Structure 1
Amino acid sequence: MELQFKQIQISDKANVLALFKETAEKISKKNVDHWQYWKNPPQEKIAWVEEGIQHKEFFFITTKNTDLVGMVRILNEDKLYWGPQQEKAKYVHSLVVKEEFNGNGIGAKILQEIEMKAKTDHCNYLRLDADTKNPKLCRYYENLGFKKVGMKELPLSTYQLYQKEL
């Protein structure tokens, strides 16, 4: 399946928030207390989304036929989670795959596409995080070659920091 990354516009904010809510509900059905704040997001999370859209960091992921598969946020720096860094990296947040596309390797394919872009941009690492409340997601990233390199505690949760050397 060929995937395309489409820049999200501020007019798409309601769709972004709906995708987060849908994903939070999907995760809740699996008895994982991760991202539940997206069911009724606090203002700080809404502002985080708006900032990411304004900085052109959010992308819808579609098939060649324009079916919406999910979304992702890609940053060139991530001071909130990682602090200042010397090494050039791409940072992945909010990787969402719609439920009907789960189990088809799409998450891994999205990360591969971002990894290729990071290499083209001469980055040394691809970095992401996973909520400690979601050990299955942590194992998923580890199985894709990401190494745990730290932890970050924020008001809404504690996150494991992962990176993959490129």
Structure 2
Amino acid sequence: MNIIFKRIEIKDKNIVLGLFKKTAEKINKMNIDHWQYWKNPPIEKIKWVENGILNNEFFFIDNQNEENLGMVRILNEDLLYWGKQNKKAKYIHSLVVKEKYNGKGIGTKIINQIEGIAKKDNCSYLRLDADSKNSKLCSYYEKIGFKKVGTKELPLSVNNLYEKELK
């Protein structure tokens, strides 16, 4: 399956917020207390989305038939979670795969494609974070080659920081 990244525009902000809300509801059904603030996001989260869209960091993820599979935010720097870093990296945030596509390996394909982009951009690392309460997600990232290198406490969550060295 081909994965196509399509830059999200500010006019699509409500679609992005809707994807976050649906994902929060899905996670809640799994009895995981993660991303629940997206059901009714505080203003700082809405601003975070707006800034990401305006900085060309949010992408819809489509397949070759132009069906939307979800979305992702890809950053060249992540001061909020990682602070200033010396080595060049790509940062993955807000990876959302729609529920009907879960369990089909699409998340791994998306991460692998972003890894390829990072390598072409001469990055040393691919980095991401996961809410420390979401043990299933944390295990998934470790299973696909990420190593936990720290934690970051924010007002709404405590996140494990993961990185994968690119060779």
TM-score in terms of structure 2 length: 0.99
Q: 1:2-151 to 2 correspondence within 5 Å? A: 2-151=2-151
Could you list the structure 1 runs, at least 4 aligned residues long, displaced by more than 2 angstroms after superposition.
none
**1:33-67 superposed Cα distances (whole Å, 9 cap, x missing partner):** 00000000000000000000000000000011111
Query: What is the Cα deviation at residue 133 of structure 1?
Result: 1.1
Secondary structure of 2:107's counterpart equals helix
Identify unmatched segments of 5+ residues in structure 1.
none
Which whole-Å CA distance do the structure 2 matches of 1:122 and 1:22 have between them?
Answer: 35
Please provide the CA RMSD for this pair: 0.3
Which whole-Å CA distance do the structure 2 matches of 1:26 and 1:139 have between them?
Answer: 18
Which whole-Å CA distance do the structure 1 matches of 2:4 and 2:88 have between them?
Answer: 24
Q: Which amino acid aligns with 1:143?
A: K
Which whole-Å CA distance do the structure 1 matches of 2:66 and 2:18 have between them?
Answer: 18
Q: Which amino acid aligns with 2:44?
A: E
Secondary structure of 1:66's counterpart equals coil
Query: How many matched pairs?
Result: 166
Query: What is the Cα deviation at residue 145 of structure 1?
Result: 0.2
Query: What is the Cα deviation at residue 164 of structure 1?
Result: 0.1
TM-score in terms of structure 1 length: 1.00
Fraction of identical pairs, as percent: 68
Q: Which amino acid aligns with 1:113?
A: Q
Which whole-Å CA distance do the structure 2 matches of 1:95 and 1:120 have between them?
Answer: 21
Which whole-Å CA distance do the structure 2 matches of 1:14 and 1:31 have between them?
Answer: 26
